Structure 1
């Protein structure tokens, strides 16, 4: 079923929720509609919970204009001319009409200002997550993050909260470009035991966000911004698109930017003793990541290291891993063997795309499963 048909179905399920959210920026998601001057003090501090149109604020919130100075630092805004800064214990909230039971991914851009250990709590009641911001992945200082949830009600409240308490109450992250995308749980395609093997289903890409979207670690693939895939360990992977990066196949892929500290994982049903073949593409995203890369793939007791000499201008090669299943469930794992860094000091790594898993061989006398 196509995305348009599924969207029509979601709208029908929403019944009375006429304003059900659709893919793209949330209402005033780029904060270009600002508070009245009478609702700000000291030039930028927001006064009043409903001063910013379509948003409810609490705590120390500032309305930032691109080019505004903070000491010797110039604050740059990636989407339009305005953003918000969440100071001590500050939050922004927006109520969303959604389709109950459906899955969504929220995407937003964030930049650290003066605190070194900033983090954000993102929640859609009753679910919540913590996004650490200690690692900066883009040279601009802005990163885009994705976080997924399943709607438990027809109307939910999205909250982005800075739980930090700094000596300077204005020390907190900048937020801009808050968007949403409905996720459609992928099914098994013909000739591939992996779901979403081409990574075509995933979070929304913000316009002009040439740094991709970070997908943080999670422990449940049902709520992953990359449906059917889990991000294991402690660091994020980067979701890239063909509009801003080189992608081996289709429109989207995953860049492994965190070395062995992050792994891309999918669990599949297998038959012990049967042999399977995993094939995939390894390349670079044409983002200036130059050098000798090594992507690793694991399944059951087998593994393969795939060297790729990157010139940072795009390209890829195919790789294969044959393995014998040892249980009824097998985890397919991708990760980068080492950290890589661009000339500007930002992290990068090999791209994984077009992953496919097929039955390669079964023991003699065993009937092929349908």
Structure 2
């Protein structure tokens, strides 16, 4: 059984104020995104929410429970963080909220969730017509709680965000718990003169709750074609990369970085225009996030026909080293790929891996022109 989260500061995060049901997106919690505003008693039967609009700012369907701070269910494998409220999505349960957005703009949704009783729990996150089914079976924290992200492109000025439990269990209440939902506007990054890669410093990415020390999981492209990490795609069946921040982790440069937590089961990649026959230099930093990931951390980089394996001996206290891969392009598009060589575990048996940051790609030289034979 997972322990209750020791970070009492999360309680402060989950304190909210009333807001209209429809609002203009900026950044942060959705209205009642922390479920601090409890349902009216007339829309409740015990902990089961019976009224479709009983939870302020949300609409529900299916078997939904409202769990107040301090309440414990006998069948739950973990308890809520101190001071947090939650909704529990049982059989075929959905919570949804109508939000105002800017048409053709990209957004990322971040929510904190945990499985409560079943092993293979998953959540379908959608903004019509786009959706992604995010498995929450693999737990990346010792508390049992993880932050998940998912991105979408707004097709209208008003959209409905839905989070749906697709499972049906013998116990109708069995399903994932959610304690916070937030949103963030994403701005498509551009290539610069000094870097042919977009968002190579990873400074743009999904919303990170200020008082959650575990980062945000970014899903594979199979579940999210837009990616909450602009410019980059995650290639995997079910595994993810973790987006981490400087306030809670050591990052090689700036405020954000990526931790490769899934070994060879997951790859981070970006395709970039190149000129066949030209030479290029790919530089990047490899380190550890000061999160207790100890051992030989290795990142493998691939571009065209070249590859490089970079090892960083980690004490789990932070630090990084630079690396360079030079290659000659063989096509008009080159795929730049990074992955961790191994599966690594911290002392609490949770997955961890090397941190990747400050990725740059520059052209070095073009081939010498051929001399005409007379």
Describe how 1:311-350 pairs up with structure 2 within 5 A.
Answer: 311-350=315-354
Matched residue, 1:243: 247
TM-score, normalised to structure 2, is: 0.90
Mapped partners of 2:106, 2:369: distance in 1: 43
Matched residue, 1:135: 138
Backbone CA RMSD of aligned residues? 1.5
Matched residue, 1:218: 221
Correspondent of 2:34 among 27, 30, 33: 30
Mapped partners of 1:74, 1:265: distance in 2: 36
Q: Is 1:102–2:99 an aligned residue pair? A: no
Q: Against the structure 1 CA distance between its residues 340 and 362, is the aligned structure 2 distance closer, same or farther, given a 3 Å change threshold?
A: same
Q: Against the structure 1 CA distance between its residues 220 and 134, is the aligned structure 2 distance closer, same or farther, given a 3 Å change threshold?
A: closer
Matched residue, 1:194: 197
Q: Find the residue that maps to 1:327 and give its secondary structure.
A: coil
Mapped partners of 1:221, 1:150: distance in 2: 11
Matched residue, 1:146: 149
Matched residue, 2:292: 288
Q: Is 1:68–2:71 an aligned residue pair? A: yes
Describe how 1:9-28 pairs up with structure 2 within 5 A.
Answer: 19-28=23-32
Contact 1:79–1:177, Cα closer than 8 Å, also in 2: no
Mapped partners of 1:264, 1:19: distance in 2: 34
Q: Is 1:120–2:154 an aligned residue pair? A: no
**Alignment coverage as a number of residue pairs:** 348
Mapped partners of 1:89, 1:259: distance in 2: 33
Q: CA deviation at 1:118?
A: 0.3
Matched residue, 2:265: 261
Correspondent of 1:301 among 292, 295, 305: 305
Q: CA deviation at 1:342?
A: 0.4
Contact 2:279–2:363, Cα closer than 8 Å, also in 1: yes
Mapped partners of 1:100, 1:225: distance in 2: 17
Mapped partners of 1:232, 1:79: distance in 2: 36
Deviations 1:120-159 (A, max 9, x none): 0000011111101121111110010000000000000000
Mark the runs of 5 or more structure 2 residues left unpaired by the alignment.
Answer: 1-21
Contact 2:35–2:179, Cα closer than 8 Å, also in 1: yes
Contact 1:254–1:353, Cα closer than 8 Å, also in 2: yes
Q: Against the structure 1 CA distance between its residues 74 and 68, is the aligned structure 2 distance closer, same or farther, given a 3 Å change threshold?
A: farther
Q: CA deviation at 1:185?
A: 0.1
Contact 1:84–1:175, Cα closer than 8 Å, also in 2: yes
TM-score, normalised to structure 1, is: 0.91
Correspondent of 2:54 among 51, 56, 59: 51
Q: Find the residue that maps to 2:264 and give its secondary structure.
A: helix
Contact 2:276–2:330, Cα closer than 8 Å, also in 1: yes
